[in-house]
């Protein structure tokens, strides 16, 4: 692993959310790392190829990166307003992709699932002075429950 790739990996580890290559480059330069934007892109491509990062697309088509947790590939729900993300249970997606591969005879099947919404902090209040709607932490029988109750 090169010095630059180590710096990119450390910067991703320090950043808790998804980040663009340009934002990551700015963080590295601000931290006095001598690195070029092209090198950041190259390191991110290598990390992606090695399974070291999760990647999602912005609405504009740009790619955002996040260091992949040690327990492996995840899917995320991302806020379209602020960019905050949270991992979601995606076991059913993984099982479905495996079933499709087995049923079709395809090998090395990959998939991309992108879930976006508006987080509770970015949702406007229903009426002046009312708290915004939010996702209850305790899931109902079909998953998290959307609630506008205080």
pLDDT for 44-93, tens place per residue?
Answer: 999 988 889 988 888 788 899 989 887 777 788 888 888 888 888 888 88
Confidence class for position 99, pLDDT limits 50, 70, 90: very high
For residue 15, how far is the Cα from the chain centroid? 12
pTM for the model stands at 0.62
73 Cβ contact partners less than 8 Å away, ≥ 6 residues apart: 51, 54
pLDDT for 133-144, tens place per residue?
Answer: 444 433 434 334
pLDDT at 15: 85
């Amino acid at each position: 692993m090169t010095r630059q790739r180590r710096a990119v990996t450390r910067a991703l580890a320090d950043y808790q959310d998804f980040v663009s290559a340009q934002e990551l480059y700015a963080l590295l330069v601000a931290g006095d790392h001598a690195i070029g934007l092209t090198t950041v892109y190259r390191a991110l491509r290598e990390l992606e190829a090695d399974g070291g990062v999760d990647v999602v697309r912005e609405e504009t088509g740009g790619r955002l990166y996040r260091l992949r947790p040690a327990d492996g590939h995840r899917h995320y729900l991302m806020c379209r307003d602020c960019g905050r993300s949270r991992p979601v249970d995606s076991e059913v997606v993984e099982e479905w992709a495996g079933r499709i591969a087995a049923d079709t005879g395809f090998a090395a099947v990959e998939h991309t699932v992108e879930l976006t919404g508006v987080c509770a902090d970015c949702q406007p209040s229903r009426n002046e002075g009312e708290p915004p709607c939010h996702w209850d932490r305790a899931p109902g029988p079909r998953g998290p429950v959307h609630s506008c109750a205080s």
